């Protein structure tokens, strides 16, 4: 009965209920309790309470597939792979910081001096998603103008403070305004979790020339059926370039990335 009632709640109301539960539970599981312990050992309930992805909370798929949310184990593996490469780390599509925060913690626990730069409009999709809606692809509830606006930079900054992640720079705004603020940076790893064509196009054009040799651009939505705009943007961008998409697979999550070769 309770489950039936929960399914009838609107998504905003369900989100509000979840946040109330988290606020009640956080004093019982403060972030400080686990900060000195390896991220890989953090219990799943801790990740749920603080709305961050932790390795032990990742449920493997029964067979390999490119779907689902970002896999934190893949992201941490990519940090380890690029740790000695010159440049900062970036995440585009921060949303509520579920992967940004553990990435920041992992960098700190590795004793790495890299900065993690997070980009997000914090206003949800703008009208550029209309192109993706017009593409022949399966429907997705969040494929609409305004989706992913149930966040704010204050929400993410609050999480970063709780986890004492002072190695993060958060840059709000749509990419045509925010990316130029880092025009003089070099990057070793970029995580793109964007969904739509225009966002992938803008980010690839900005980051590719700023990647160090061996640096990685991870495209979280490549080959996801509801998001063909990612495939179109990546395929168009790589035309005539020496790099080819490569596959990483962990927990039966398949993700595709570009490794800079020059």
pLDDT tens digits, residue range 58-73? 999 999 999 999 999 9
| pLDDT band, residue 26 (cuts 50/70/90) | confident
- Which pLDDT value is given to residue 133? 96
Query: Can you tell me the mean pLDDT for 106-122?
Result: 97
Least confident of 18-27, 70-79, 91-100, 138-147: 18-27
Place of tokens 């063909």: 228
Place of tokens 């998001």: 227
CA-only gyration radius of the chain, Å:
18
Contact indicator for 169, 105 with CB cutoff of 8 Å = no
User: Residue 28 and residue 79: Cα distance in Å, rounded?
Assistant: 30
| φ, ψ at 152 (rounded to 5°) | -165, 160
Element (H, E) at 100: helix 100-109
Domain count, the chain: 1
The secondary structure of 156-218, three-state, reads: HHHHHHHCCCCCEEEEECCHHHHHHHHCCCCEEEEEECCCCHHHHHHHHHHHHHHEEEEEEEE
Residue at 177 is within a domain: yes
* Range(s) of the domain holding residue 115: 64-259
User: Residue 173 maps to which CATH number?
Assistant: 3.40.50.150
- Which pLDDT value is given to residue 218? 98
User: Residue 9 and residue 15: Cα distance in Å, rounded?
Assistant: 10
Contact indicator for 91, 74 with CB cutoff of 8 Å = no
Encode burial over 145-154: b for 16+ CB neighbours within 10 A, e otherwise.
eeebebbebe
pLDDT tens track for 170-181:
999 999 999 999
- Which pLDDT value is given to residue 17? 74
| φ, ψ at 86 (rounded to 5°) | -65, 135
| pLDDT band, residue 22 (cuts 50/70/90) | confident
**Alpha-carbon dihedral sign for residues 128, 134, 140, 146:** positive
Rounded percentage of the chain residues whose pLDDT exceeds 90: 88
- Which pLDDT value is given to residue 10? 63
| pLDDT band, residue 257 (cuts 50/70/90) | very high
Contact indicator for 150, 202 with CB cutoff of 8 Å = no
Is the pLDDT at 109 greater than 60, yes or no?
yes
| pLDDT band, residue 13 (cuts 50/70/90) | confident
pLDDT tens track for 79-97:
999 999 999 999 999 999 9
| pLDDT band, residue 21 (cuts 50/70/90) | confident
Is the pLDDT at 27 greater than 90, yes or no?
no
Residue at 54 is within a domain: no
Mean of all residue pLDDT scores within the chain: 93
Strands of the sheet with 187-192, listed across from one edge: 168-172, 116-120, 88-92, 187-192, 211-219, 253-259, 246-250
Is the pLDDT at 57 greater than 70, yes or no?
yes
The SS3 call for residue 253 is strand
Q: Model-level pTM greater than 0.95?
A: no
The SS3 call for residue 5 is helix
Residue at 255 is within a domain: yes
Residue at 36 is within a domain: no
Say which residue, 29 or 124, is predicted with more confidence: 124
Residue at 55 is within a domain: no
- Which pLDDT value is given to residue 205? 98
The SS3 call for residue 50 is helix
Read off the tokens for 220: 């979280």
| pLDDT band, residue 11 (cuts 50/70/90) | low
- Which pLDDT value is given to residue 152? 96
Nearest Cα to Cα of residue 107 among 133, 92, 89: 89
Is the pLDDT at 6 greater than 90, yes or no?
no
Is the pLDDT at 7 greater than 70, yes or no?
no
């Amino acid at each position: 009965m309770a489950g039936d009632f929960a399914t009838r709640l609107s998504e905003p109301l369900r989100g509000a209920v979840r946040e109330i539960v988290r606020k009640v539970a956080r004093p019982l599981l403060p972030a400080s309790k686990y900060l000195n312990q390896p991220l890989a050992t953090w219990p799943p309930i801790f990740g749920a309470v603080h709305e961050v992805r932790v390795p032990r909370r990742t449920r493997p798929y029964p067979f390999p597939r490119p779907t689902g949310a970002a896999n934190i184990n893949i992201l941490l593996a990519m940090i380890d792979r690029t740790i000695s490469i010159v440049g900062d780390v970036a995440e585009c599509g921060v949303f509520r910081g579920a992967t940004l925060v553990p990435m920041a913690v992992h960098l700190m626990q590795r004793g790495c001096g890299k900065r993690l730069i997070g980009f997000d409009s914090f206003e949800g999709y703008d009208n550029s998603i209309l192109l993706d809606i017009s593409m022949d692809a399966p429907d997705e509830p969040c494929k609409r103008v305004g989706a992913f606006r149930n966040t704010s930079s204050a929400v993410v900054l609050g999480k970063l403070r709780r986890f004492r992640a002072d190695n993060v720079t958060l840059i709000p705004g749509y990419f045509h305004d925010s990316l130029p603020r880092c025009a003089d940076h070099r990057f070793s790893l970029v995580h793109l979790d964007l969904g739509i064509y225009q966002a992938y196009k803008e980010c690839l054009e900005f980051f590719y020339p700023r990647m160090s040799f061996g640096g990685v651009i991870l495209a979280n939505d490549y080959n996801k059926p509801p998001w063909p705009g990612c495939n179109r943007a990546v395929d168009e961008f790589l035309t005539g370039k020496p790099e080819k998409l490569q596959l990483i697979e962990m927990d039966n999550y398949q993700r595709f990335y570009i490794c800079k070769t020059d």
